[in-house]
Amino acid sequence: MKGPVVVRALLALVLLALVALVVHKTRWEEVEVDDEVRGKAATDSYYSLRHVLQGAGGTLQVESSLEPLPPVGATLLLESTLWNIFPEREARLRAWVESGGHLVLLSPHSRGDDDGLRWVPLSSVDPRRKPLVDPKRAKPASDADSDDEDDDESDDGKDKNKDGDASKRKPPPQQTEQQRRRAEKVARILGVKIPERGCATFTETAATTTPAFEPGRSYRGCTLAGSLRPLNHVVPGWLLTGPRGTLAMRVPVGRGDVTGVSPALVLGNQELLEGDNALIAAAVLQVAPGRALWIVEDEAREPIARWLWHEARTPLVLALAAVALALWRLLVRFGPREAVPPQARRSMGEQVRGTGQFIAGTDARALHAATRKAFEDSARPRVESWAEREDADRLAALAQSLPANSIDAAAVLASLQVGAGATNAQILAATAVLEQARRAILRASAARPTH
């Protein structure tokens, strides 16, 4: 009895050792998996923005062309880089802003190819772009440029003293996904609240004359910031800055205004829900009850096939039908297009008529010459000295030798003298007259009594 008991005890110990080894070597980690986007949010990249505007009483309209312009008093977010492919759009856009429109630009004058925005008194530098000129090798600026820079530095002196030069700061190194998860796990264990990923505090400066909401409000923005400055000594009416730089600046233009954002405005469905990005977007876009927001994306046109169907449907259908019929005629056939006539020998009359029809269709003058020769061969025996006479004298003598009204001498003379400019129809008509006259001669010869 002791043997089986010992074996069972050893097996239990081995099993417990294996379980302990598995528990010791196993590590459990929580992995966050984002839910898949479903419903309208999967197809509409502005789904979250529509709900923000709907809550504030505004409306959203996404366009792929700047024609027509939004109504006066609306907000236009210009994301297209090809909006000024037509030269008259610059003047129309400027007139729309000066009459009361609100224009929002992303990194104005930073691309270098925005000649249509020369009238916008804003300039920005995207921190994600490398400078085109090395500052160490750059030539000294002119006096006018130095004056402008001094003015800009004097206007933004308070912001630089408070937040520092954003263009010279190095952006904080971004954590990898694994490092972020470990930091969040440690923070949960220690009960410490860590700051939001890539977020910073943005505030409206003291120079702001028209705050977006209540004065002195700060925003937690999870976005990058660049450098914005006014041009032509224009005083901005609204400014949103933070430790990373200036995010947005608004300057008046006529009765409207232009808001510059550097480098971009966060509007994605998920990114808009991070921090106070929704409030920042509402402040930049000046969302208000009853105000429309237009977003103009890259220029797009209707495909050529769809455009032809909408604008020229009838000619297109007729052309397609003609092409289909032409292809049908070129298809390989398994039989003749019409019934083949039975093979039989033709009579002499059918042969002559067929030859005459062929000659008439290919060379009418040859048929006329052959008919004239046959007419002269029939008429020559009835007129003496045929070769020495003219055509008119020959026909007069021929008419006297025939029964009355057998031939019309004038018509036969005209048929003999067909000009070089006659058409095929005229030549065939003359040939028919000569043939009728020849047959009249043959009938008269057959009716002559023989001796």
pLDDT digits (tens, 9 = 90+) for 153-209: 444 444 444 444 433 343 444 444 444 555 555 555 545 444 445 788 999 887 677
Enclosing H/E stretch for 208: none
Letter string b/e over residues 66-104, b meaning 16 or more CB atoms within 10 A of that residue's CB? beebbeeebbbbbbbeebbeeeebbeebbebbeeebbbb
Reference 106, options 234, 253, 226; nearest CA is: 226
**Does residue 104 carry a pLDDT above 90?**
yes
- Those residues with Cβ within 8 angstroms of residue 126's Cβ, 6 or more apart along the chain or in another chain: 107, 110, 226, 262, 263
Structure confidence at residue 175 (pLDDT): 43
**Does residue 80 carry a pLDDT above 90?**
no
**pTM for this one?**
0.52
Q: Which of 150-159, 304-313, 367-376, 437-446 has the lowest mean pLDDT?
A: 150-159
Taking residues 83-102, report their average pLDDT.
Answer: 90
Taking residues 307-313, report their average pLDDT.
Answer: 88
Q: Which of 85-89, 101-105, 176-180 has the lowest mean pLDDT?
A: 176-180
Binned at pLDDT 50, 70 and 90, residue 74 comes out as very high
Structure confidence at residue 125 (pLDDT): 63
Spatial separation of the C-alpha atoms in residues 401 and 383, rounded to whole Å: 8
Structure confidence at residue 95 (pLDDT): 94
Taking residues 142-146, report their average pLDDT.
Answer: 37
Taking residues 86-95, report their average pLDDT.
Answer: 88
Taking residues 275-296, report their average pLDDT.
Answer: 93
Structure confidence at residue 449 (pLDDT): 60
What percent of the chain clears pLDDT 90, i.e. is strictly above it?
A: 22
**109 or 232, greater pLDDT:** 232
Could you give the count of Cα atoms lying within 13 Å of 228 in the half-sphere of its Cβ?
31
Structure confidence at residue 134 (pLDDT): 37
**Does residue 420 carry a pLDDT above 60?**
yes
**Does residue 150 carry a pLDDT above 60?**
no
Q: What angle do CA 161, 265, 184 make, to 5 degrees?
A: 80
Structure confidence at residue 85 (pLDDT): 82
Mean pLDDT, the chain, integer:
79
Structure confidence at residue 351 (pLDDT): 80
Structure confidence at residue 401 (pLDDT): 86
Spatial separation of the C-alpha atoms in residues 87 and 369, rounded to whole Å: 72
Instruction: Report whether 103 contacts 259 (CB < 8 A).
Output: yes
Structure confidence at residue 322 (pLDDT): 95
Spatial separation of the C-alpha atoms in residues 246 and 227, rounded to whole Å: 5
Spatial separation of the C-alpha atoms in residues 252 and 415, rounded to whole Å: 94
**451 or 57, greater pLDDT:** 57
Structure confidence at residue 133 (pLDDT): 36
Does residue 403 have a cis bond before it (omega within 30 degrees)?
Answer: no
Spatial separation of the C-alpha atoms in residues 63 and 52, rounded to whole Å: 19
Structure confidence at residue 153 (pLDDT): 41
Structure confidence at residue 111 (pLDDT): 54
- Those residues with Cβ within 8 angstroms of residue 92's Cβ, 6 or more apart along the chain or in another chain: 69
**181 or 438, greater pLDDT:** 438
**92 or 342, greater pLDDT:** 92
Taking residues 42-48, report their average pLDDT.
Answer: 89
**Does residue 408 carry a pLDDT above 80?**
yes
Binned at pLDDT 50, 70 and 90, residue 115 comes out as low
Q: Which of 76-90, 172-186, 417-431 has the lowest mean pLDDT?
A: 172-186
Binned at pLDDT 50, 70 and 90, residue 110 comes out as low
